Chain A
Amino acid sequence: MRRQSNRLGEGGIIDRSKPVTFTFDGAPYQGYQGDTLASALLANGVTLVGRSFKYHRPRGVLSAGSEEPNALVELRSENYREANTKATMVELFDGLSASSQNRWPSLRLDFMSINSLLSPIFVAGFYYKTFMWPAALWEKLYEPAIRRAAGLGRAAQGEDPDHYEKATAHCDVLVVGGGAAGLNAALNAARSGARVILADENAQLGGRALDDGLPIDGAPPVQWIDSVREQLEREPNVVVMRRTTVFGVYDTGTYGALERVSDHLAQAKHGFPRQRLWRIIAKRTILATGATERPIVFGGNDRPGVMLASAFRTYLNRYGVAPGRRIVVFTNNDSGALTAAEAALAGLEVVAIVDSRRGLSAEISKAASTAGTRMISGGVVIDTVGKAKLSGVVIRTGEGEDVRLSCDCLVMSGGWNPNLQLTTHLGGKPTWNDAIAAFVPGTHPPGMSVAGAAGGSFGLKDALDEGAKAGSEAVASLGWKVAGPASPRADNQPYGIRPLWLVEASKSKALVDFQNDVTAADIALAAREGFQSVEHLKRYTTLGMATDQGRTSNVNALAIMAKATDRSIPETGMTVARPPYSPVAIGALAGHHRGKSFKAVRRPPSYAWAKANGGVFVETGLWLRPAYFPKSDERDWFETVCREVKTVRSAVGVCDVSTLGKVDVQGKDAGEFLDKIYMNGLKTLPIGKARYGGMLREDGIFMDDGTIARLGEHHYFVTTTTANAVKAFQHMEFCAQWLWPSLDVQLISATEQWAQYAVAGPKSRDLLRKIIDPEFDISDEAFPYLQVGKITVCGGIKGRLFRLSFSGERAYEIAVPARYGDALMRALMDAGQEFGVCPYGAEALAVMRIEKGHISGPELNGNTTPRDVGLGDMIAKKKDFIGRVLGERPGIIDPDRPSLIGFRPVDKNMRMRSGAHIVPLSAPATAANDQGYLTSVAYSPTVGDWIALGLLKRGPERIGEKVRAVDPVRNEEYVVEVVNPCFVDPEGEKLRG
């Protein structure tokens, strides 16, 4: 293992007593607890960490934070593998394995860097221009080739073995960012007793205060930061969330945040998620997200060894790492002085300070003389020298001379951009501030205030003071008592920026967007070709569209475009940031809602019995319903279903129908209410009777159907289909509350309160006689078809009996409170033994309803009207009901509309399948000749043949006609005969017994 050649002898807040071993591209290295992957790589002298997206240019570490566009790596292995992770944000842990991306076969020897030589054709809009024709080659040839050449990391192929969770938090004040401003805001707000959440994306609080090392209260900043952290963590009303990125602002004070719970560990601790997605609801928010330093756009500015000055100071102060030994500072503002002083203090050689401003700034010249360094005023770096590592720079001095200096690290500062993204998520527009040459927040989302560098106040004292003020104002505005704002002592640093947007003297590639490989020349080209609006520029060049959302590039690009088109920067525009501020894994958004936990499972009351008795289940919405109950000697489901149907038609069967939606309707106006929401008359329904009901949408289309039973003068009990249970109930609530608010009617969903079983077949009454207590008369005289009544079963358990039939047999539905459902199922099966009872599932139920020509989901498909499904006669003539008026539109009542009819194959061996379309016998199978389709198909053991229901143009008039069923999906075609849709007992004699 190599020595950490670039680790300074002292300094930093890493724990040197805890060495950590990791690998990069297979080679082992050592860092310390507290390092990031980037700082540890730099400590080991690894400067080449990746290849760029398009040109495969060698890339090093540019930044020290979440804005990093270059140092993207793949972490971990196999299904834990994650691509495009910023090395600057990866906390080092023992055994971490990381590899570079986008190189083949290796990082040093990358064949694809040929792209760089071909770069004249790889300019902006290249994809659009080159691969226009022939379009057929796009999918097969161009796209795979481009993807191989210009890929990023590889996603894991298998299921993500980590798990993720979601949580919600409420607070009075949310502070986003734990730097000087944020810490002081949280501290001042917390003193009032208000609930405060402080979220910071890093593992350590402190932000730039920690990075820059400037004194607070006359001591190193880490002392003040630690003491505030301890105070906050002690307060019961404060939650400090580290490693948590607030990534989005949503309406009404809702914030999205991602907590990286276990990213810094080799493996999540047992019972802990990898990441946690937070929804934070805050009454007030203080944005203290700081600022991001801008690179300077000059030739070769992406060579490994070129780094942001702020990042350089972070590596020195936070990690005790020297990114280089011979430093050139390139700046357009006074922060160059701080950088040079820090470098000199760390014992590094500061070769030169190149200050693009003319006229010596007092700060800079003082720093230059202290560091004993060469001062180049009014100069610019025009090129860099080296291959995969910087070895020197070419400088054009203020006098126009080109000078070559050797160095191994160039640190640049093009000024600062406030991290104002969260202020724009709800549509706020930033405004341009000429004094600091940057956009600052314009309008804020409701309840948000901004403190410190995020608002353009870059000095440390300003950050602390503004944080204090924002913190106490936020709680005061919520009515909390708070003492005046309090801040520790600190100084502001001079800034004195004079913009330098582009070093025009550069000849070589000057990168603007490092991650998407967009150069200054690309922007100039876009300007020449007329893509001058920011949104066009973005789409044409892909600038700012990488995972870093252009945090280091957007403003530079805008300024270059402004210059090229002779406009001011604010005239040129500003792209609006959208959530997320930094990438969020899909896994985190899904949380536990994946696989079997994707949605809830509802089990009907007889589930345990059915499971124990070999039931095979089918998902119906959220419900798990038994589909059929195979016996051990049965070959397949087909044989089972046929047996179940035959048993019901010849003896008796029991089916759990509890999944049907059930609504209890009560009130003086309950009947009138039901008359309004069903197309047929219900007010006249006698007490103790049930009736079929059809519910329409206001546009006349069939919405749902079911039965309505009248249990008392002002008491009805309504069922809906299983699939529409929730929708139909909510529709009824809407009607009662909004359409007819003065009707006296109350609704409650009783779907889960009742276990309800269909007991069907010629022996059904005999079976029920053994279950229902003897004082209840269920003879046909006392309990005819469509009778309903209250009963007790099994010695006093209250229940209800409905004489309804979906199968066409003599049949009843018996209901008991759900807690007795399991016991009743067992009782029914025991009592039914002597009659040859069998349980039947959804499949047999469906076969029997097709045999009877009853409509169900496939016919009530959101396109059909009552007339279409043969129920036109039920539509009430005199009353108002939902769907009455628009249901009479000419197009809806057109007799040419496909309507319900039955079909049988002419060739008896032919199996029909639903979905087949119907065309006339001799006409070609074209859309123009399409006359309808098969909706429901089953093999009928009763008929001994395949039967179908379908919708056919003028169907009922065409009984006896032969037509063709055409199924282009399965490539089948067969002749079918149009028949009556009721295949079994059309007179309904069995039904009435």
Chain B
Amino acid sequence: MRIQCPCCGERSLDEFTYYGDASVTRPNAFAPTAMSDYHAYVYQRDNRDGDHRELWYHAAGCHACLVVTRNVRSHIISDVRIAREVARERDAAALPGSTS
């Protein structure tokens, strides 16, 4: 498999390290439901067919974490984004008063 790194171009899989599911968000540690929230965050994963958003770290390249959208059946990658940008959008959307 090859991943189109937005910084480095298309690179072979052996340059990357897998960092798991990009669709989970680290919960608030002080919420009353923190224990069950963290249990779900750390241990519970869906095993769905189709597109999967996942984190790949370009260890032997630019050191960027990437959010890769990969079809788990065909391995076809439909989207690659810099994780920090995706995470900033995620955090902005989670702010109180945000419209989304």
Q: Which residues of A contact B (CB under 8 A)?
A: 250-254, 279, 281, 426-427, 446, 698-699, 730, 733-734, 737-739, 741-742, 880, 884-886, 888-889
Question: Which A residues touch B1, using CB under 8 A?
Answer: 250-252, 254
> Please, how many angstroms separate the alpha-carbon atoms of A885 and B63 in the complex?
28
Q: How far is the CB of B38 from chain A (nearest CB, A)?
A: 4
A622 to chain B minimum Cβ distance, whole angstroms, is: 15
Which of A426, A730, A738, A885 contacts B17, CB < 8 Å? A730
Cα-based distance from A254 to B3 in the complex (angstroms): 12
Closest to A739 in B: B26
The distance from the CB of A891 to the nearest CB of chain B, in whole angstroms, is 12
A-side contacts of B65, CB under 8 Å:
733-734, 737-738
Residues of B within 8 A of A427 (CB): 73-74
| Contact between chains at A254 and B2 (CB < 8 Å) | yes
Interchain CB contact under 8 A, A734 and B75: no
A880 touches B29 (CB 8 A): yes
6 tightest Cβ-Cβ pairs between the two chains A and B: A741-B87, A252-B2, A251-B1, A880-B29, A885-B38, A251-B75
Q: Residue among A252, A730, A738, A886 with the most chain B CB within 10 A? A: A738
Q: CA separation between A733 and B63, bound complex, in Å?
A: 8
- A323 and B20 CA atoms in complex are apart in Å by 60
Residues of chain B within 8 A of A741, CB atoms compared = 83-85, 87-88, 91
Q: How far is the CA of A373 from the CA of B12 in the complex (A)?
A: 60
B38–A730 CB distance below 8 A: no
Smallest Cβ-Cβ distance to A697: which chain B residue: B42
Query: For residue B26, which residues in chain A have a CB less than 8 angstroms away from its CB?
Result: 698, 739
- The CA-CA distance from A281 to B12 in the complex, in Å, is 10
Report B-chain residues with C-beta under 8 Å of the C-beta of A253. Answer: 2
For B41, B57, B77, which residue has the most chain A Cβ atoms within 10 angstroms?
Answer: B57
Is the pair A886, B39 in contact by a Cβ cutoff of 8 Å?
A: yes
B93 at the interface (CB under 8 A from A): no
A-B interface contact total, Cβ < 8 Å: 74
**Chain A, Cβ-Cβ closest to B2:** A252
Q: What's the tally of chain B residues with a CB closer than 8 Å to chain A?
A: 36
Q: What residues on B are CB-neighbors of A734 within 8 Å?
A: 19, 55, 57, 65
Interchain CA distance A251-B10 in the complex, whole Å: 13
B contact set with A: CB distance below 8 Å:
1-2, 10, 12-13, 17, 19, 22, 26-27, 29-30, 34-35, 37-39, 41-42, 55, 57, 59, 63-65, 73-77, 83-85, 87-88, 91
Contact A737 B42 (CB under 8 A): no
A252-B77, A734-B57 known; 8 new pairs, CB 8 Å cut-off, are A252-B75, A254-B12, A698-B26, A737-B64, A738-B55, A742-B91, A885-B29, A886-B35
Residue in B closest to A890 when the chains form the complex, CB atoms = B35
Which residues of chain A come closer than 8 Å to B22, judged between CB atoms?
738
> What is the CB-to-nearest-CB distance from A984 to chain B, in angstroms, rounded to a whole number?
39
Q: Are A886 and B42 in contact (CB under 8 A)?
A: yes
Query: Which residue of A has the minimal Cβ distance to B27?
Result: A885
* Among candidates B34, B76, B91, residue contacting A446 with C-beta atoms closer than 8 Å: B76
Show 7 A/B contacts (Cβ-Cβ < 8 Å), sorted by A: A251-B75, A252-B10, A281-B12, A734-B55, A737-B87, A739-B87, A741-B88
A446 to B77 Cα, complex, angstroms: 12
Asked if B42 and A730 sit within 8 Å, CB to CB, the answer is: no
A738 in contact with B87 given A251-B1, A252-B75, A733-B63 (CB within 8 Å): yes
Task: Give the dominant DSSP class at B's interface.
Answer: mixed
- Residue in A closest to B55 when the chains form the complex, CB atoms: A738
Q: How far is the CA of A884 from the CA of B35 in the complex (A)?
A: 10
Report how far A684 CA is from B85 CA in the complex, Å: 30
Residues of B with C-beta under 8 A to A698: 26, 38, 41-42
The residue among A251, A741, A880 with the most chain B CB atoms within 10 A of its own CB is A741
How far does the Cβ of B59 sit from chain A's closest Cβ, in whole Å? 6
Q: How far is the CB of A282 from chain B (nearest CB, A)?
A: 11
What residues of chain B lie closer than 8 Å to A281, measured between beta carbons?
2, 12
Residue numbers in A under 8 Å from B19 (CB-CB): 734, 738
Determine whether the beta carbon of A699 is less than 8 Å from that of B42.
yes
B64 CB contacts on chain A under 8 angstroms: 737
A589: min CB distance to chain B, Å: 14
Residues in B whose Cβ lies below 8 Å from that of A886: 35, 38-39, 42
In the complex, what's the smallest C-beta–C-beta distance from B3 to chain A, in angstroms?
A: 8
CB neighbours (8 Å) of B76 from chain A are: 446
By a CB distance below 8 angstroms, the chain B residues around A737 are 64-65, 83-84, 87
Q: CA–CA, A250 to B75, complex, Å?
A: 10
Chain A neighbourhood of B59, CB < 8 A: 730
Tell me, in angstroms, the Cα distance from A446 to B78 when the chains sit together: 13
CA distance A741 to B84 in the complex (A): 5
B22, B55, B65, B75: which has the most chain A beta carbons within 10 Å? B65
Chain B residues near A888: list those with CB within 8 A. 35
CA distance A707 to B27 in the complex (A): 28
Residues of chain B with a CB closer than 8 A to A251's CB: 1-2, 13, 75
**Is B91 a contact partner of A880 (Cβ separation < 8 A)?**
no
- Most A CB contacts (10 A, CB to CB) among B34, B64, B73 go to B34
Known: A446-B76, A730-B57, A733-B63. A884 touches B29 (CB 8 A): yes
Interchain nearest-CB distance for B19 vs A (Å): 6
A748 to B52: give the CA distance in the assembly, Å: 30
Chain B neighbourhood of A880, CB < 8 A: 29-30
B77's nearest neighbour on chain A, judged by CB, is A252
Q: Are B57 and A733 in contact (CB under 8 A)?
A: yes
Q: Is the CB of B88 within 8 A of A885?
A: no
Chain A: minimal CB distance from B35 (Å): 6
CA distance A678 to B39 in the complex (A): 20
Q: How far is the CB of A932 from chain B (nearest CB, A)?
A: 27
Q: Which residues of B contact A254 (CB under 8 A)?
A: 1-2, 12
Considering the chains assembled together, what is the distance between the CA atoms of A664 and B40 in angstroms? Answer: 33
C-alpha spacing A831/B98, complex, angstroms: 65
Give the residues in chain A near B91, CB-CB below 8 Å: 741-742
Contact A742–B42 (Cβ < 8 Å): no
Closest beta carbon of chain B to A755's beta carbon, Å? 24
Q: How far is the CA of A575 from the CA of B76 in the complex (A)?
A: 24
Residues of chain A lying within 8 A (CB to CB) of residue B35? 885-886, 888-889
Q: Please, how many angstroms separate the alpha-carbon atoms of A733 and B66 in the complex?
A: 12
Which B residues are in CB contact (< 8 Å) with A885?
27, 29, 34-35, 37-38
User: Roughly how many angstroms separate A886 CA and B59 CA in the complex, as a whole number?
Assistant: 28
Q: Which residue of A lies closest to B1 (CB)?
A: A251
Q: Cα distance A139–B59 when bound, in Å?
A: 46
A-chain residues with CB within 8 Å of residue B41 when the two chains form the complex: 698
- Cα A39 to Cα B59 in complex, Å, equals 52
Most buried by B among A698, A730, A885: A885
Residues of chain A within 8 A of B83, CB atoms compared: 737-738, 741
Give the distance in Å from the alpha carbon of A250 to the alpha carbon of B91 in the complex. Answer: 37
Give Cα A252 to B63, complex, Å. Answer: 22
A145 CB to nearest chain B CB (Å): 44
**B83: min CB distance to chain A, Å:** 5
* Residues of A contacting B38 in the complex (Cβ-Cβ under 8 angstroms): 698, 885-886
